[in-house]
């Protein structure tokens, strides 16, 4: 017993250890959101980006990473300071109509993302030669069970599989001996290709896709709901902020290698990406003949993760917009509304993929572009709320945070307009 006492005392007095525990305890929402950003739609989008555009698309990561970090940090800070979710605050400050409009936009964008995940599952079933219908229904059922009965360890396991899958891209990228100088210099300025008008149009559209899959509207709501749900405290603000930056770095660290791997395997051979088998070529340097299977399993795990988290974020946002901020807890999860919303999204997504002629890769780019177009709308409220001195006190935005994100929003709006023009007149 003496020994136990000693241990306890040492535990309580060891400040450094306490701090580590504190960091670990907030190590969560931002990293989870960041990892989930690289869902099946993400893999598909990065694959298309690397295969179609090569290294120059890496330049976007240089801008997207800080933007992701800063906006996620805003959402987290907003919730930690006000103890309200983002959707909550929009409802309280801007009323029902604005809430409804944003919710509907979010619903459509999320439905697109979920459809991408479902169509990824279809692609995987083709690659693994499993009949589509039973496989798909099975996966949807598992997702539903996961939501109702899922636990933290299972979530971690799936995250781990996905992370390992991303590692195969890193190894493959290294094994193809790409021109690292080109890859890294392209992070700072895009160069090394012929800038034809065709290429520039693709760059614009796919670039929007890359933006939309990395920084998502649902991600903005998710991080604030999650911070609320975990009942995190204002005192942990500093650590939470660090974590959001780390999460942003991690997402784009993986994205970087994914793009380099596809660029040095597919882009150099001028292959247009239309099938999962082709996309799997990017990890052949590492996986050899297993590339197809490994890609299929990795994409499946990534798709499953998106299939669970994205509909959840819709349901949570719905509850905040039209119900209560405290309703992320078990009471709401047991409510009929929650299940109906969840079910509707999965069924709608599954029906959309049943329309013939929808290719995972085209659909991914289209929906991620849609996601990107909705971003400025979400940013507008996020920036306004976090800049509000009355609401945030000493934690309101500094000039850099405010102007960087505002400028980015303007650029995204302009890019959206050009994208629409490019799609209508060229594609």
Residue ranges binding other proteins (CB under 8 A): 1, 4-5, 8, 12-13, 82-84, 91-92, 95-97, 100, 231, 233-234, 322-326, 330, 390-391, 393
CA 365 to chain centroid: 14
> Is the CB of 196 or the CB of 330 nearer to other proteins?
330
Minimum Å gap between C-beta 33 and other proteins is 22
Q: Taking Cα atoms as reference points, which of 394, 405, 349 lies closest to residue 77? A: 394
Minimum Å gap between C-beta 91 and other proteins is 6
> Is the CB of 95 or the CB of 192 nearer to other proteins?
95
> Is the CB of 177 or the CB of 231 nearer to other proteins?
231
Minimum Å gap between C-beta 88 and other proteins is 8
Minimum Å gap between C-beta 23 and other proteins is 16
The Cα–Cα gap between 41 and 114 comes to 9
Minimum Å gap between C-beta 145 and other proteins is 17
Minimum Å gap between C-beta 13 and other proteins is 6
> Is the CB of 126 or the CB of 323 nearer to other proteins?
323
> Is the CB of 66 or the CB of 326 nearer to other proteins?
326
Minimum Å gap between C-beta 380 and other proteins is 18
> Is the CB of 92 or the CB of 277 nearer to other proteins?
92
> Is the CB of 13 or the CB of 196 nearer to other proteins?
13
Minimum Å gap between C-beta 96 and other proteins is 4
> Is the CB of 302 or the CB of 391 nearer to other proteins?
391
């Amino acid at each position: 017993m003496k020994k136990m006492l000693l241990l306890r005392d040492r535990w309580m007095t060891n400040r450094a250890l306490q701090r580590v525990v504190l960091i670990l305890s907030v190590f969560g929402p931002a990293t989870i959101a960041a990892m989930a950003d690289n869902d099946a739609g993400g893999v598909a989008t990065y694959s298309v980006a690397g295969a179609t555009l090569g290294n120059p698309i890496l330049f976007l990561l240089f801008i997207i990473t800080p933007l992701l970090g800063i906006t996620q940090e805003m959402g987290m800070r907003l919730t930690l300071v006000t103890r309200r979710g983002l959707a909550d605050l929009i409802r309280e400050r801007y009323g029902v109509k604005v809430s409804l409009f944003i919710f509907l936009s979010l619903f459509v964008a999320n439905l697109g993302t979920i459809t991408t995940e479902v169509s990824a599952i279809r692609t995987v079933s083709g690659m693994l030669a499993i009949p589509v219908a039973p496989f798909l229904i099975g996966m949807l059922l598992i997702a539903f069970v996961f939501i109702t009965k899922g636990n933290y360890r299972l979530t971690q396991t799936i995250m781990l599989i996905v992370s390992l899958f991303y590692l195969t891209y890193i190894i493959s990228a290294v094994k193809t001996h790409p021109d690292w100088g080109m890859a890294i210099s392209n992070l700072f300025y895009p160069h090394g290709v012929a800038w034809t008008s065709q290429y520039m149009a693709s760059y614009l559209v796919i670039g929007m896709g890359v933006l939309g899959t990395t920084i998502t509207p649902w991600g903005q709501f998710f991080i604030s709901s999650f911070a609320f749900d975990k009942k995190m405290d204002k005192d942990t603000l500093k650590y939470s902020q660090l974590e959001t930056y780390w999460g942003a770095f991690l997402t784009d660290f993986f994205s970087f290698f994914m793009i380099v791997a596809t660029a040095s395997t597919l882009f150099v051979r001028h292959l247009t990406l239309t099938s999962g088998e082709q996309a799997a070529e990017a990890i052949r340097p590492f996986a050899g003949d297993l590339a197809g299977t490994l890609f299929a399993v990795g994409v499946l795990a990534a798709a499953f993760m998106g299939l669970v988290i994205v509909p959840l974020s819709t349901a949570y946002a719905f509850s905040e917009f039209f119900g209560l901020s405290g309703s992320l807890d078990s009471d709401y999860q047991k409510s009929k509304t929650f299940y109906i919303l969840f079910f509707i999204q999965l069924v709608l997504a599954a029906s959309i993929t049943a329309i013939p002629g929808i290719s995972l890769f085209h659909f991914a780019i289209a929906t991620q572009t849609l996601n990107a177009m909705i971003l400025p709308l979400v940013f507008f409220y996020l920036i306004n709320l976090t800049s509000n001195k009355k609401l945030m006190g000493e934690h309101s935005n500094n000039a850099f945070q405010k102007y960087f994100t505002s400028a980015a929003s303007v650029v995204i709006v302009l890019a959206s307009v050009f994208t629409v023009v490019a799609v209508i007149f060229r594609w």
